[in-house]
Amino acid sequence: MNLKKKSKKITKLGKLWIESAIKDMKRREKEYSKNTKKKNTKKKNTKKKNTKNRRKKRKKRFTQKISLKKYKELIKKKRSRKRLTKREKRLLDDTLFYKYCKCNLHFEERKQNGYGICMNSIYKNRGFKTPTLKKGNLCKDVYKK
């Protein structure tokens, strides 16, 4: 008797999985070869620089991330001293900072210093502590305009 094993057909998803696995293996081989080359090569006598390779943070778009309804809800929650989740805290802080930057921007257009007025109207009038920031200058660093 001739017993032949039936070969299974590979589905499209199976082919995609195999291709991605092959790509991943090739990438890992390249990384491994780079790392071994670095270890084997002798270092030249060059001066070391004290500067580190630091990534620049991407600037955010100058837009508000949450709706007005959600914003008011978060402010109400914080005022009543209910616990906010980390995500809610971050959203509220980002939105307050956005409003602060927007207020400062209006004063900059008139060539005036609006730091105190904006800080007071955004944070203190809502019943929050003013954050210890030097964010007057940070607005330019954080947001694209």
Closest CA to 88 of 78, 97, 98, 80: 78
Segment 53-95, tens digit of pLDDT: 666 666 666 667 788 899 999 999 998 989 999 999 999 988 8
Domain-embedded: residue 122: yes
How many structural domains comprise the chain? 1
In a 13 Å sphere around the CA of 130, the CA atoms on its Cβ side amount to 16
H helical segments located in 1-145: 12-40, 68-79, 86-109, 115-122, 135-142
Residue 119 lies in a domain: yes
Across the range 132-138, mean pLDDT stands at 61
Assigned domain for 27 exists: no
Per-residue pLDDT averaged across 29-55, rounded? 66
What average pLDDT does the segment 109-135 reach? 80
The answer to whether position 61 is within a domain reads: no
Domain-embedded: residue 23: no
Residue 31 lies inside a defined structural domain of this protein: no
Tokens 């007071």 label which residue?
120
- The pTM for the full model equals 0.53
Q: Which residue shows structure tokens 């921007």?
A: 105
